[in-house]
């Protein structure tokens, strides 16, 4: 296989461990369904404790498998996480550390100082931030490429958001692409999905006026499953929901209107229900084909919930922020007969772990010259959570301006979490005692802060992370 360096290819979440395996007979190869929801918050499922959202189909997956309470997206915004899921590599190593601007948007081009100020610094900001690319490099090896090389049919449905047409899913290992393009959100959730600036309508042609996008995506996913015959397959299902625009079928939203909830809350809840219905459609199709027991399903989100439409309490903040509300997400793995039912795991895991997990499950070899940052979760899953991982440290790197005080890097080591703000004081939290991150211990425990900062710096050097540089034109007011 040609050398691939693994940059960012965001929507494919399932993977493998680095041990070599021989290709299996088709009858022995499990199918893989990877569900990567957009902007779904940690508390946006009933099985996570919500008494507002209704998600019976997703809850059933949790009941039949393992639900993780310490699962993380590799970034607080979408494209970097999507790249990490599909490559098994940290966004900083892939080089995609912010969401990728579509062609019609003002992308990061030219010199650092020529980029949009609000995202890269310059002018009145203290730091100049590295530009984010327009795409995930073709050199990155993806989950789809690895599994296709092991005899799998591969299909991508939904949101890609990893580059222009030359970098769409077919260039990264997918036999079929339905809806995957350069945009990060649909212009409209109702058919026709058209807008002069957007390309979704070219990838997902109108079918039935007024049809809701999430249900259309689910139908396309079910169609792929039915047409696979006896071949093993990877279905990478990435609904555009529950990203903005917040739109919903009125009859569904009406069920969620109540005192203390806004119209936007009700529409968002209806969007969550549409995702749950889509999962139900996929599981029903697997059951009809009598392949449910031979299918690994992984379900997760690309970042925390968006503040306003949803509430991430008890977590602090939401999408885009360095706090738990921006990066902690739901995660479920289900495979009847292989993964024991009804397990709740508090093991900290990351988006980078899905590729090695999928690869181990499918006995797919990862080339020895490809660096993978994730670790397989299969032995943990098969042992009802009794077998832990050797790794205890997770990392994040967002060298861009989005929310004050600006660029940051994060390390979680055991229960300790340190946020290094490039333009502000370092923060230190013990998540076991302070899940809501209200008690900053950086001043009270300088030795622990220094220890974690040193580990974080070593990581940034190890992955050759691009970091902010001081702005010579900055004048502090």
pLDDT in tens, 216-252: 999 999 999 999 999 999 999 999 999 999 999 999 9
Taking the C-alpha atoms of residue 220 and residue 236, their distance in angstroms, rounded to an integer, is 12
What is the pLDDT, as a whole number, of residue 474?
84
Same domain, 337 and 441: no
Give the CA distances from residue 25 to residues 103, 111, 183, 232, 270, in Å, rounded to whole numbers and listed in that order: 43, 51, 38, 10, 42
CA-nearest of 319, 306, 333, 296 to 71 is 333
* Over residues 334-360, mean pLDDT: 98
Asked if residue 109 has pLDDT above 70, the reply is no
In this model, does residue 118 exceed pLDDT 70? no
pLDDT above 90 (res 35): yes
- Same domain membership, residue 226 and residue 172: yes
Size of the chain in residues: 477
User: What is the pLDDT, as a whole number, of residue 13?
Assistant: 31
Judgement on whether residues 272 and 321 belong to the same structural domain of the protein: yes
- Do 221 and 77 fall into the same domain? yes
Measured CA to CA, the distance from residue 135 to residue 132 in angstroms comes to 9
**Residue 203's pLDDT is what?**
74
Report how far residue 144's alpha carbon sits from residue 12's, in angstroms, rounded to the nearest whole number.
Answer: 7
How sure is the predictor about 131, in pLDDT bands with cuts at 50, 70 and 90? confident
Instruction: Report the pLDDT averaged over residues 425-438.
Output: 99
In a domain, 130, yes or no: no
State phi, psi for 193 to the nearest 5 degrees.
-90, 65
29 or 102: whose pLDDT is higher?
29
Task: Please report which confidence band the pLDDT of residue 201 belongs to, taking 50, 70 and 90 as the band edges.
Answer: low
What total number of domains does the chain contain? 2
> Is the pLDDT reported for residue 1 higher than 70?
no
Q: Residue range 53-76: average pLDDT? A: 99
pLDDT of 206: 80
Query: How is 164-198 classified by DSSP, letter by letter?
Result: SGGGSGGGGT-SEEES-SS-SS-S-SBSS---TT-
CA distance 433 to 455: 22
pLDDT, mean of residues 411-432: 98
- Looking at the domain assignment, is residue 114 inside a domain? no
Same domain, 476 and 387: no
Indicate which CATH number applies to the domain containing 286: 3.40.720.10
pTM score, two decimals? 0.92
- Tell whether 225 and 366 lie within a shared domain: yes
* pLDDT for 12 beyond 60: no
Which burial class, exposed, middle or buried, applies to 443 when counting CB atoms under 10 A from its CB (0-12, 13-18, 19+)? exposed
Residue 127 host element (H or E): strand 127-128
**Which of 375, 391, 407 lies at the terminal end of a domain, its last residue?**
391
CATH number at residue 451: 3.30.1120.10
**Token pair belonging to 51:** 């008494």
The reply to whether 127 falls in a domain is no
Q: What is the pLDDT of residues 271-327, one digit of tens each?
A: 999 999 999 999 999 999 999 999 999 999 999 999 999 999 999 999 999 999 999
| 126 located within any domain | no
The domain of 402 spans 393-477
Residue 122 pLDDT > 70:
no
304 and 439, same domain (yes or no)? no
Q: What is the mean pLDDT of residues 335-346?
A: 98
Q: Which residues pair with 35 in a beta bridge?
A: 237, 299
Contacts of 94 (CB under 8 A, 6+ apart): 6, 7, 8, 80, 83, 84, 87, 136, 137, 140
Mean pLDDT of 454-477: 92
**In terms of pLDDT, which residue wins out, 474 or 14?**
474
In a domain, 351, yes or no: yes
Residue 448 covered by a domain:
yes
Nearest to 306 by CA among 12, 43, 35: 43
With a CB cutoff of 8 Å and minimum separation 6, the contacts of 458 are none
**Lowest pLDDT segment from 81-95, 250-264, 358-372:** 250-264
Residue 200: per-residue pLDDT:
74
Classify residue 123: in a domain, yes or no.
no
**pLDDT computed for residue 472 by the predictor:** 85
| Residues 15, 431: Cα–Cα separation, whole Å | 28
Same domain, yes or no, for 333 and 432? no
Cis (ω within 30 of 0) for the bond into 136?
no
158 and 68 share a domain? Answer: yes
What residues contact residue 246 under an 8 Å CB cut-off, 6+ apart?
A: 264, 267, 268, 271, 309
Please check whether residues 241 and 383 belong to one and the same domain: yes
Q: Of the candidates 337, 362, 391, which is a domain's last residue? A: 391
For residue 347, being part of any structural domain is answered with yes
**110 pLDDT more than 70:** no
Domain end: 365, 391, 417, which one?
A: 391
Sign of the CA dihedral 253, 255, 258, 261? negative
pLDDT at 14: 31
Omega before residue 271 within 30° of 0, cis: no
Is the per-residue pLDDT at 264 higher than 60?
A: yes
Q: Are residues 354 and 406 in the same domain?
A: no
Q: Verify that 302 and 414 share a domain, yes or no.
A: no
* Per-residue model confidence (pLDDT) at position 204: 80
pLDDT (tens digit, 9 = 90+) per residue, 364-382? Answer: 999 999 999 999 999 999 9
Measured N-to-C along each axis, helices 263-288 and 213-227 cross at an angle, to the nearest 10 degrees, of 10
């Amino acid at each position: 296989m040609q050398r691939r360096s693994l940059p960012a290819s965001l929507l494919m979440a399932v993977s493998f461990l680095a041990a070599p395996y021989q290709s299996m007979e088709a009858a022995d190869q499990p199918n893989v369904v990877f569900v990567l929801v957009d902007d779904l918050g940690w508390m946006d499922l009933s099985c996570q404790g919500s008494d507002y959202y209704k998600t019976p189909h997703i809850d059933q997956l949790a009941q039949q498998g393992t639900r993780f309470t310490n699962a993380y997206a590799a970034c607080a915004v979408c494209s970097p996480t999507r790249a990490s899921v599909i490559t098994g590599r940290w966004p900083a190593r892939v080089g995609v550390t912010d969401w990728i601007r579509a062609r019609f948007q003002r992308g990061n081009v030219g010199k650092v100082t020529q980029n949009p100020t609000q995202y890269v610094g310059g002018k009145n900001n203290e730091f100049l931030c590295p530009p984010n690319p327009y795409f995930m490099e073709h050199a990155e090896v993806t989950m789809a490429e690895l599994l296709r090389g092991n005899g799998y049919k591969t299909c991508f449905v939904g949101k890609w958001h990893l580059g222009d047409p030359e970098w769409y899913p077919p260039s990264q290992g997918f036999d079929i692409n339905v809806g995957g393009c350069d945009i990060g959100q649909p212009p409209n959730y109702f058919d026709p999905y058209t807008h002069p600036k957007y390309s979704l309508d070219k990838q997902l042609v109108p079918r039935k006026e007024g049809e809701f996008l999430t249900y259309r995506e689910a139908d396309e996913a079910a169609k792929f499953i039915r047409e696979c015959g006896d071949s093993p397959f990877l279905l990478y299902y990435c609904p555009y929901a529950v990203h903005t625009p917040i739109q919903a079928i009125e009859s569904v939203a009406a069920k969620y209107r109540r005192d203390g909830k806004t119209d936007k809350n009700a529409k968002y809840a209806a969007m969550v229900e549409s995702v749950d219905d889509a999962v139900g459609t996929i599981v029903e199709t697997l059951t009809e084909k009598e392949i449910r027991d031979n299918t690994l399903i992984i379900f997760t989100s690309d970042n925390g919930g968006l503040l306003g439409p949803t509430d991430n309490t008890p977590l602090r903040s939401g999408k885009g922020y360095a706090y738990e509300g921006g990066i902690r997400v739901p995660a479920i793995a289900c495979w009847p007969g292989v993964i024991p039912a009804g397990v709740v795991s508090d093991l900290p895991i990351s988006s980078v772990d899905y590729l090695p997990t999928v690869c181990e499950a499918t006995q797919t070899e990862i080339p020895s010259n490809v660096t993978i940052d994730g670790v397989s979760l299969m032995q943990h899953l098969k042992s009802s959570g009794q077998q832990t991982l050797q790794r205890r440290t997770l990392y994040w790197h967002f060298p861009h301006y989005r929310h004050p005080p600006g660029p940051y890097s994060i390390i979680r080591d055991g229960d300790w979490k340190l946020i290094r703000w490039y333009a502000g004081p370092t923060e230190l939290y013990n998540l076991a005692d302070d899940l809501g991150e209200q008690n900053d211990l950086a001043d009270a425990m300088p030795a622990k802060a220094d220890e974690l900062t040193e580990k974080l710096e070593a990581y940034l050097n190890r992955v050759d992370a691009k970091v902010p540089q001081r702005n010579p034109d900055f004048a502090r007011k």
